[in-house]
Structure 1
């Protein structure tokens, strides 16, 4: 059995909060980190949990060392989750890559016994040849998309460091995370908000993998508690295209009028180029050319059999997760 004193970085985020909540409920002594303890938006929801809240900035190693004292297990969850930034190197890439290594170095210095490192299927890839399901052996090597590049390089360098110093690291690679308990929208939950508001008029030409945040948190916990866990673990409940997703939403909310037309790729590409040009005038693009290239027009499929077989991971039904996501939005973010 691994130690009960654990640190969760990024504890105010969607995955971080639910992981912190579930660890505390299982009897762990949880130290939950946020970047600014004086920011009510970051700590208000964590304050309701029986955890110790600490201030930590992954780009400032001295703050990590203080938070790591007496810790036996680290859940390195913190990362920037957005697709576009004015300065992607500083705002998206460096915090993931440098911040991740800083966390691992501090963990080693503090003699932390085990690390569960949150990566993403963005580091695995978006589509295999002829629709082949991607596995843990696949890597997203050629992506220029800021988020995907950051997740891929952060995980690669984490493995390089862990192997060099013989550190016990296990990686979790979830698909798009949905489900309740988010206190501000993520790129994964925003789609459902737009559908509820009737703002989504056409469907993006893409297939997407989804997983519930509670199943992601359980995957992390199983990886920490299971002595046989090693390497990467893809967590994907189900991959669906736009029509399949709308079918599920109609079954859940029959009164909602969902879009039934898929935007043609040529229109999506033109729209993304126009949005990119508008950034010159300080506009935040609704979609970027890199996002179109990374996500659109591809058949996405992932194999989660390793997580099921090794971790005993058994995710909830996607329809239930979507229902909980939409109910959470209506009750808490409307």
Structure 2
């Protein structure tokens, strides 16, 4: 059982603005912040989304009391951001478009990700916020092949990598634009967290793409999986790393990869689930597609493009920087995968013989 210490000094409990508060990472951020006593403001695209944030807090067993408020602001427009930043001491920028279906054009994903990051940084700078912590992705780090396939914060995905999906390209371009903005202006700090695949218990009412993979495996909707190795990290540890990057002076101007351990394949993840949930054994993936089949299928199936882009490589991903600089201690991968499945079961997913 992984236990987390409160990384929050009493002197650092200024108001925190959280973007993307209805998402997997954002909902856990809001729960952690309000539980630890931070006054927290959450941006929503429309007032009706406030109810989703409050429902997530109830699922987390957190009563925010008078520490939670909302501001209406959209990544695609300037309106509302000045008001959202008023009186804010910290910013956690989690929001970024993640299409559930292939976008009509790449710009449908790239532009809101890049321009939204710049809007948040600009508004924070004008409001005198000293630092923004931005959620990027390992997609911005390790989707271009290199000898040895070892990746650290020094690496960048080439946005022109052949076959790179639009979402992955958007993360590269948005993070690059954010660093350029900070370099050009010089009076605001940026720290970036680059998570690998984010799993763990979900608080929201809509499964994230990663959590949805586990749900699909457990319910028989993925009898075959592509060969694909990737890093795994628990959402609670992603939030912990954001808070450390928010508070530690050493985080300014730095990127931090969030990964819980060695890369795992989808088929390996299925083996973990089979061991811990034998009732679902007959529904879990029984076959792994070769990279040749993946590449061919990806020509007509957009969902396989990320696997094709990885090319069957096994990335070796370092979390040493987050550990040594910020004292971060992530959960193990098996614990995270099991927590993901347990969360789905608590939310109503029924396994064979248990319903």
TM-score after normalising by structure 1:
0.90
Query: 2 CA distance for matches of 1:156 and 1:15?
Result: 21
Contact 1:84 1:146 in 2 (8 A): no
Query: 2 CA distance for matches of 1:234 and 1:40?
Result: 30
| Structure-1 residue corresponding to 2:167 | 147
Residues 81 and 301 of structure 1: CA distance in aligned 2, closer, same or farther (over 3 Å): farther
Query: 2 CA distance for matches of 1:135 and 1:52?
Result: 37
- Are 2:244 and 1:222 aligned? yes
Q: In the TM superposition, what is the alpha-carbon distance from 1:296 to its structure 2 partner?
A: 4.2
TM-score after normalising by structure 2:
0.85
Query: 2 CA distance for matches of 1:307 and 1:88?
Result: 35
Q: In the TM superposition, what is the alpha-carbon distance from 1:252 to its structure 2 partner?
A: 1.5
1:171 aligns with one of 186, 192, 195: 192
| Structure-2 residue corresponding to 1:262 | 288
Contact 1:174 1:216 in 2 (8 A): yes
2:215 aligns with one of 170, 186, 193: 193
Query: 1 CA distance for matches of 2:298 and 2:267?
Result: 22
Query: 1 CA distance for matches of 2:278 and 2:57?
Result: 37
Which residues of 2 match residues 292-311 of structure 1 at below 5 A?
A: 292-311=307-326
1:12 aligns with one of 16, 22, 25: 22
Contact 2:227 2:307 in 1 (8 A): no
Deviation per residue, 1:182-237 (Å, 9 max, x gap): 42122211111111102221221110111000000000001111111131000001
Query: 1 CA distance for matches of 2:130 and 2:333?
Result: 34
Residues 57 and 66 of structure 1: CA distance in aligned 2, closer, same or farther (over 3 Å): same
| Structure-2 residue corresponding to 1:273 | 299
Q: In the TM superposition, what is the alpha-carbon distance from 1:295 to its structure 2 partner?
A: 3.3
- Are 2:280 and 1:236 aligned? no
Residues 88 and 17 of structure 1: CA distance in aligned 2, closer, same or farther (over 3 Å): farther
Runs of at least 4 residues of structure 1 off by over 4 A?
46-49
2:82 aligns with one of 61, 65, 68: 65
What's the RMSD between the two structures over aligned residues? 2.0
Runs of at least 5 residues in structure 2 that lack an aligned partner in the other structure: 1-10, 350-355
Runs of at least 5 residues in structure 1 that lack an aligned partner in the other structure: 276-284
1:81 aligns with one of 98, 101, 113: 98
| Structure-2 residue corresponding to 1:280 | none
Aligned residues: 323
Residues 191 and 235 of structure 1: CA distance in aligned 2, closer, same or farther (over 3 Å): same
| Structure-2 residue corresponding to 1:159 | 179
Deviation per residue, 1:56-88 (Å, 9 max, x gap): 101111211111111111111100123753324
